[in-house]
Amino acid sequence: MITTPELIESLAADAGPVRRLAPLARAAGWLAFAALILALVAVSHAPRPDLALRIADPRFLCGVGGALATGVLAAVAAFAVSVPGRSRAWLLLPLPGALLWALAIGEGCVSWAGLPADGSFPGDEAGCLAILVLIGAPLALAMLIMLRHAARIAPAAVGTLGGLAVAGLTATALSFFHIHDASAQILIWNLGIALSLVVLGRAFASRMLAWVAPA
């Protein structure tokens, strides 16, 4: 019968080197993939016709900057908290961008006069939905695969941050391609999408991550 020291020695002899997780490098890889997706969408979709005028609007720039910062910082935080032993303070990393994003949108939502009386929204909503799917689906799938090891570590935190990252980058792209004629529409598309992704990420993160996690 093998003794405990012998068992430890045999396990140590057969064990391979452990590859350390590099959260910043992994986040950079996901963001590079996101940049590729956004570039492909930019090639296949014409920008909104009033883009030149909107870029001169400080509120528009603050909103886009806040959404972009939220997406980037949430992605970095998601990969950071997926590493065992990392501080939970990483959860606060996307907070500044999220606050700027929310404030920029909220300033335009003080008045709801732009919403049509029949409750409908102007613009090509089918095209907007297509952009959301084209950008959000591959980004969410890539995030899910890259963070599958977090299924038993911090699924709720990783799912929340991952959803926020996808929402921020999707809203950033949406601002350049879809015309928002009403303040209420901005609120529904941007914050509504972000909230939905975050809630879904937190509620189903354990199942989704465990689904693709290695045994």
Please name which of 208, 209, 153 lies closest in space to residue 21, comparing C-alpha atoms: 153
Which 3 state secondary structure label does DSSP give 170? helix
DSSP 50: T
Q: Say how far apart CA 124 and CA 185 lie, in whole Å.
A: 12
Domain boundaries, the chain: 71-215
Give the residue among 72, 75, 92, 69 at the shortest CA–CA distance from 161. Answer: 75
**3-class secondary structure for 55-110?**
HCCHHHHHHHHHHHHHHHHHHHHHHHHCCCCCCHHHHHCCHHHHHHHHHHHHHHCC
Mean pLDDT of 45-74: 88
Q: Over the stretch 2-55, which tens digit does the pLDDT of each residue have?
A: 677 765 666 556 655 555 568 889 999 999 999 999 999 888 888 888 888 888
82 vs 19, higher pLDDT: 82
- Amino acid 18: pLDDT: 52
Mean pLDDT of 90-110: 80
Higher pLDDT, 190 or 129: 129
pTM: predicted TM-score of the whole model, two decimal places: 0.73
d(CA 158, CA 80): 9
What is the sign of the dihedral through the CA atoms of 175, 177, 181 and 182? negative
